[in-house]
């Protein structure tokens, strides 16, 4: 398959199995998942409720660990990492965007972004400038001192995106980033994510049910019943049909 110039595999999952619960009620949520994310691409992960999307996102973001399989993020294999090692990898290389924004209500926009930088061990005089730059990049340079209570939903999601971008992580993972937004703001956020994904040092993966987002995708992966059901690249001329693998 075609990838952007200078693109590289920044995240690779192979044979991922995840079992939740204990016998006799345990459920195999993910079943032998193979997945690669390439830099310079916006990938959408789509599937019905209960198909395993959020669990897979949590594993790719080093929040959950798989029962079987291997994961590598930015060249770092996670197999022998303890909880602290996984947390360090997550802080350095993964940025999260949540459906509910998860902003600290008592902090301004710039302070919310600076908090993310602090978690990545980036503090001091440059932190404010870096946070302000991230907000400028998402079109909120004029709102850096606004508190979440004074922002629209679209603005709050842009702060969440700026927070995810702060510190230049290798992978951005978004969980239903347009679900809480109206159509206009949802499309604006997806347009922003598609531009963020053009960075050839970064990959963006978004879980979504929103079919309005499809036109922004470089790649669409469909998951069903814990398995990758197909993959396509809609922007290629004569879009390729669904394939059973997701590489």
On average, the pLDDT of the chain sits at: 90
Q: What is the C-alpha radius of gyration for the chain, rounded to an integer number of angstroms?
A: 18
Query: What integer is the mean pLDDT of 15-32?
Result: 94
SS (H, E, C) 158-211: HHHHHHHHCCCCCEEEEECCCCCCCHHHHHHHHHHHHHHCCCCCCEEEEECCCH
Q: For residues 187 and 222, is the Cβ–Cβ distance under 8 A?
A: no
Burial label for 88, CB within 10 Å (0-12, 13-18, 19+), is middle
52-76: per-residue pLDDT in tens?
A: 999 999 999 999 999 999 999 999 9
pLDDT score recorded for residue 5: 64
pLDDT at 45 over 50: yes
How much is the pTM?
0.89
Cα gap 172→168, rounded to integer Å: 9
What confidence category does residue 247 fall into, taking pLDDT thresholds of 50, 70 and 90?
very low
Q: What is the pLDDT of residue 2?
A: 59
For the chain, percent of residues with pLDDT exceeding 90: 73
Mean pLDDT of 126-149: 92
Give me the pLDDT at residue 235, please: 76
Q: Which domains are delineated in the chain?
A: 9-98+167-232 (3.40.50.300)
- What local confidence, expressed as pLDDT, does residue 241 receive? 46
The CA distance from 198 to 212, in Å, is 20
The backbone region for 50, taken as left when phi is positive above 0, alpha when psi lies in -120 to 50, beta otherwise, is: left
Residue 125 has pLDDT above 80, yes or no: no
Among 1-10, 20-29, 62-71, the range scoring the smallest mean pLDDT is 1-10
Least confident piece of the model among 4-18, 45-59, 220-234:
4-18
Residue 196 confidence (pLDDT) above 60? yes
């Amino acid at each position: 398959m075609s990838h952007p110039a200078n693109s590289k595999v920044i995240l690779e999952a192979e044979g991922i199995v995840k079992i939740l619960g204990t016998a006799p009620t345990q459920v195999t949520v993910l079943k032998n998942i193979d997945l690669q994310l390439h830099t310079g691409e916006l990938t959408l992960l789509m599937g019905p409720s209960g198909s395993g999307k959020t669990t897979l996102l949590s594993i790719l973001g080093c929040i959950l660990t798989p029962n079987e399989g291997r994961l590598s993020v930015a060249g770092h294999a996670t197999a022998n990492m303890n909880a602290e090692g996984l947390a360090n990898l997550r802080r350095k290389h993964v940025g999260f965007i949540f459906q509910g924004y998860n902003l600290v209500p008592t902090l301004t926009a710039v302070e919310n972004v600076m908090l993310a930088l602090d978690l990545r061990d980036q503090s001091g005089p440059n932190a404010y400038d870096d946070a302000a730059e991230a907000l400028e990049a998402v079109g909120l340079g004029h709102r850096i001192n606004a508190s979440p209570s004074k922002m629209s939903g679209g603005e709050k999601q842009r702060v969440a995106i700026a927070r995810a971008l702060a510190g230049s992580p290798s992978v951005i993972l978004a969980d239903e980033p347009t679900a809480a937004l109206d159509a206009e703001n949802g499309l604006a956020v997806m347009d922003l994510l598609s531009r963020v994904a053009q960075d050839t040092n970064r990959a963006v993966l978004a879980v979504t049910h929103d079919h309005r987002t499809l036109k922004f995708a470089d790649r669409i992966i469909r998951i069903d019943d814990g398995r990758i059901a197909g993959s396509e690249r809609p922007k290629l001329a004569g879009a390729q049909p669904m394939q059973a693998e997701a590489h």
